[in-house]
Amino acid sequence: MIIEVDNSFKKDFKKIKNLELEKRVIDKLNKIEKVNNIYDISNIKLMK
């Protein structure tokens, strides 16, 4: 099934995806912090 979407929708969707990604990264950082109080962000890649 193919749905046509306009650019504004694509932009909004990208924002939503970025927010979800940020949340995941923050969750991951929080977990890491709980483990050893050190942020190991070398293996966390942020997509822009």
Q: What is the pTM of this model?
A: 0.40
**Domain hosting residue 18, numbered range:** 8-36
Residue 3 lies in a domain: no
Residue 14 lies in a domain: yes
Rounded mean pLDDT of the chain? 70
DSSP 37: S
Residues 33-48 pLDDT 10s? 665 555 555 555 554 4
Residue 26 lies in a domain: yes
pLDDT (0 to 100) of residue 45: 57
Number of structural domains in the chain: 1
More confident residue, 46 or 21: 21
Burial level of 11, CB count in 10 A (0-12/13-18/19+)? exposed
Residue 24 lies in a domain: yes
pLDDT (0 to 100) of residue 48: 41
